[in-house]
Structure 1
Amino acid sequence: MEAAATPVRGSYARELSGFHLMQSRACAVTVIVLVLLGIVLDYAVYPQLMDRFALARVITSAAVLLGLALLYTRFGRRHVHAITFVWLTFPQVMIAWMIHVTQGESSLFYAGIILTTFAVGTLFPVGFMYTLGFGMLTLLLYWLACVTRPGGVIDHGQFLFHSTIILFAVAASTVYTYYNERGRRQLFELKDELARKNGELERTNSSLAEIKGQMLQQEKMAALGTLSAGLLHEVNNPVNFCMMAIDVALEEPAAKASPMLLECLDDAKQGMQRVQYIVSDLKTFAYRNEAMQDTAFLFERALNAAVRLVGHETKGIPIRRDLQGETLVRGDEAAIIGVLINLLGNAALALRKGGRAGPEIEVGAHQQDGRLRIWVHDNGPGIAPEHLSRVFEPFFTTREVGQGLGLGLAICYSVIQRHGGQLTAESVPGEWTRFTFDLPVAGGGQ
């Protein structure tokens, strides 16, 4: 809990510092305007001292302006509280001097000290200790202004009354600042909590989208499994009869005497074997447990199955292989077949849409650091940069409506993650696209 609270406190401190900087600048401008406008009050109350007071007000405004200028420097942004505290004392010193040279405890300028004290607590509401310290300094300046006059304090009752009023102003400003700061902290914590909840909601929505995609995929696989079971039963028997008939025909003297007939019978036998492989691949691909399987299998075998199953999409597009070394890996073979089908199908679709001359898909694999690094590369039109960072988002698709939900790559990404790897995409628009992922090598420990 403490570790979670530390970033919040750091964020709050940064936000509060920015708020205080903005408030200090605004307060400085306000003080300069009010100090200069006080010349009108000097004329109304102490016209005989107006020239001296006007000069004092100009000097004070210039000093505050210098403080304001410092707040726009790097040094000022780092020490905003100290600089603000210093320039805020200038008007108080000026008012205390005016009290000293006029009527002391009877001077009407004590109202200016009270006004400034309230202004610090409202216009520039910082920490309550800051306000309390400023208020005590203000009270000290008032006492000095009155006590150091020739003859000292004359009307002790009025001096005590004004001092008490100033203390009330200090107390009120301090209490206001305390609750203002407390309310601001609570508001920030609520904003931070809302941001965290929004982040959790986004992650939940993403997880729900992924789960929905997986459920849709499982429903497809269940339907495909049912279809495959029927195919296996209905197709295997006639295929076996055809295979037996072809084997018998191959032994006939007439067939042996005719090279052309032998070639035709061999082609027919290979065709029947291909039908058997396809039905077998469908069965392997469709019948899956919900839990990820963790068995050893040859990636090359999974690739062969995927190429056969996606053959209708890749027809006419050469698929070049670059499998270096042993390809025995661990994981869910059916899931990896699904990943390869998706990547090969997407590559074939991109090549056909791009109308590329000499289209080609390359599938490569080599071992590195106990894992089999695999890539599917095509020389198609590539992926636009603004789309590249979103290709694994659920429901993101550039296909036309009705041609895909945009879940294929998101599910592939999840499958590879469950195998402890990462699926990444690279592309150069107009030249090529490459998807890369890795699988644990059987016996490699990962």
Structure 2
Amino acid sequence: MTARLPDGVVLAPEESYETALRHFRLEFSRAGLRTGIVLVLLGVGLDHAMYPEWQATFAGWRLLASALMAAVLCGMRTDWGKHNIQWLTFGWLLVPQIMIAAMIAATEGAASIYYAGLTLAIYSSGIVLAFGLWQNIVFGGVSYLLYAAACARHPVSFELHGPFVVNSMFLLMSATISAVFTVYNERARYLLFKLKAQVAEKNRELELTNKSLAEIKGQMLQQEKMAALGTLAAGLMHEVNNPVNFCLMAIDLAAEDPVSRSSPLLTECLADAKQGMQRVQHIVSDLKTFAYRKNGDNLLSAHFLFERALGAAIRLIGHELKDVKVVRELPPDTLVRGDEAAIIGVLINLFSNAVLAMRKAGKRPHELTITAVWEGQRLLVTVRDNGPGIPDEQLARVFEPFFTTREVGQGLGLGLSISYRVIERHGGVLLAESVVGEWTKMIFDLPRAETEKR
């Protein structure tokens, strides 16, 4: 969850309410301090209207108070100031209170209109500036003591009747109201923080759910495609095999004819034709193998030669590999457990991505190297291309669903994510390594056929 505060302050999920409140107090104290400086300076108009004989003196006091408040504003930018914002706020609020008390003492005491400034600051401390309860009570008490001390310089106005009593009651009432506001404002802020946190958490959960649903939808579409391809391949096997077998028989008979044996060119043509027919058989067979996906408990019960799956993947995307040098470095034994069709799909996806990257970079010659080595009971497979590589900021995200660097409409960004899940279902991990400008490696592992099912 993420809490958003004034001026774009954003809290991470682990940050507490105390941290949020400190940010809140910091932003509002800064705003209140800037407002306070402006109000103190604008008070020169009041001085001119009420006490013109004191105008020059009061102007000096206002400039001094504004300078002190500006110094506090600078202090709030430091780490110490940010962690002691309540006391800094308490301090800068006392500056205009002391100035106002001095003006009251210099003019008419209890009869001075300046007492209204003390009341304004008391209200601000509880309603606007997010003081704590005890801070607000202390601030109200100190403000009243400053007022009483200012009035004491005028014995006539300090008598327990008239303006002094009325103004005292207003100041104490203001302090009480401000304290009550402090309690309820604090509760409201806490409830608002909790509400924002809950909403942010629900939004995060909803976002994860949407991603999961979209990924499941992508997998279902992929399965539907594979099922359709399996049906098509099965029909092709039935419809194509018979004429292909007839052609192969005819080619074999023609190859035994004395005329063809006596002609090297005819013999070569018949051999090429036979190879072509066999290639058609292999492609149809590979399509059927690729489309037949296993699931559930049957996934790791089947055995297959990784070498065979690799050959099928290369044949199925042979049109993409025309100008690519494919190097295979495999051990003599490549018998593994798992879903052959799913692994063919993983290889096709890795090859297609590699070829696209190499061609996009324009780097030649294009070279794709597939190596496999046994490490204990796992066959470690590496697919390496000599393309442009993947930047570090993208490398960490290549297996995220819907992350893609292709142009809009050229890919959903699900290929590597689905491949990652396939290898995970086989008890392995799909990893990516890269050096920008040189190469990219995709590495995964498969279980040995003799290993007991875990």
TM tier, smaller: 0.7 to 0.9
Cα separation, 1, equivalents of 2:14 and 2:444: 41
Q: TM-score, normalised by structure 1?
A: 0.78
8 A Cα contact 2:404 2:411, kept in partner: no
8 A Cα contact 1:371 1:438, kept in partner: no
- Which among 423, 428, 447 is matched to residue 441 of structure 1? 447
Q: How much has 1:237 moved relative to structure 2? A: 4.4
Residues 415-426 of structure 1 aligned to structure 2 (within 5 Å): 415-419=422-426, 420-424=428-432, 426=434
Number of the residue aligned with 2:343: 336
Number of the residue aligned with 2:143: 138
Number of the residue aligned with 1:115: 120
Cα separation, 2, equivalents of 1:22 and 1:193: 23
2:300 is equivalent to residue 294 of structure 1: yes
Cα separation, 1, equivalents of 2:328 and 2:93: 77
The answer for unaligned runs of 5 or more in structure 2 is 2-10
**Structure 2 CA distance for partners of 1:322 and 1:35, relative to 1, 3 Å:** same
Number of the residue aligned with 1:363: 370
**Residue-pair matches, total:** 438
**Structure 2 CA distance for partners of 1:13 and 1:445, relative to 1, 3 Å:** farther
- SS of the aligned residue for 1:83 comes to helix
Identical-residue share of aligned pairs (%): 52
The answer for unaligned runs of 5 or more in structure 1 is none
- Which among 4, 23, 27 is matched to residue 22 of structure 1? 27
**Structure 2 CA distance for partners of 1:147 and 1:305, relative to 1, 3 Å:** same
Cα separation, 1, equivalents of 2:210 and 2:146: 62
- SS of the aligned residue for 2:221 comes to helix
- SS of the aligned residue for 1:10 comes to coil
Cα separation, 1, equivalents of 2:204 and 2:222: 27
* Cα offsets for 1:239-290 (capped at 9, x unmatched): 556667778888x796998796887777666555544443333222212245
8 A Cα contact 2:110 2:167, kept in partner: yes
Number of the residue aligned with 2:402: 394
Number of the residue aligned with 2:215: 210
Number of the residue aligned with 2:419: 412
2:59 is equivalent to residue 90 of structure 1: no
8 A Cα contact 2:395 2:432, kept in partner: no
What residue identity is the alignment partner of 1:131? Answer: N
Q: How much has 1:338 moved relative to structure 2? A: 0.6
- SS of the aligned residue for 1:361 comes to strand
The farther-off stretch of 152-161 and 326-335 is 152-161
What residue identity is the alignment partner of 2:429? Answer: G
- SS of the aligned residue for 1:210 comes to helix
**Structure 2 CA distance for partners of 1:315 and 1:444, relative to 1, 3 Å:** farther
- SS of the aligned residue for 1:314 comes to coil
* Cα offsets for 1:17-45 (capped at 9, x unmatched): 33433332332333333334444444554
**Structure 2 CA distance for partners of 1:371 and 1:148, relative to 1, 3 Å:** farther
What residue identity is the alignment partner of 2:447? Answer: V
8 A Cα contact 1:255 1:262, kept in partner: no
Cα separation, 1, equivalents of 2:126 and 2:285: 81
Q: TM-score, normalised by structure 2?
A: 0.77
- SS of the aligned residue for 1:72 comes to coil
Cα separation, 1, equivalents of 2:408 and 2:39: 66
Cα separation, 1, equivalents of 2:322 and 2:394: 27
- SS of the aligned residue for 1:311 comes to coil
8 A Cα contact 2:241 2:281, kept in partner: yes
Cα separation, 2, equivalents of 1:389 and 1:328: 32
What residue identity is the alignment partner of 1:361? Answer: L
8 A Cα contact 2:350 2:442, kept in partner: no
What residue identity is the alignment partner of 2:443? Answer: F
Q: How much has 1:235 moved relative to structure 2? A: 3.7
**Structure 2 CA distance for partners of 1:368 and 1:104, relative to 1, 3 Å:** farther
For the aligned residues, what is the CA RMSD? 4.3
8 A Cα contact 2:283 2:315, kept in partner: yes
Cα separation, 2, equivalents of 1:150 and 1:267: 124
* Cα offsets for 1:222-247 (capped at 9, x unmatched): 11111221223334445556667778
8 A Cα contact 1:132 1:170, kept in partner: yes
8 A Cα contact 2:300 2:453, kept in partner: no
**Structure 2 CA distance for partners of 1:171 and 1:396, relative to 1, 3 Å:** same
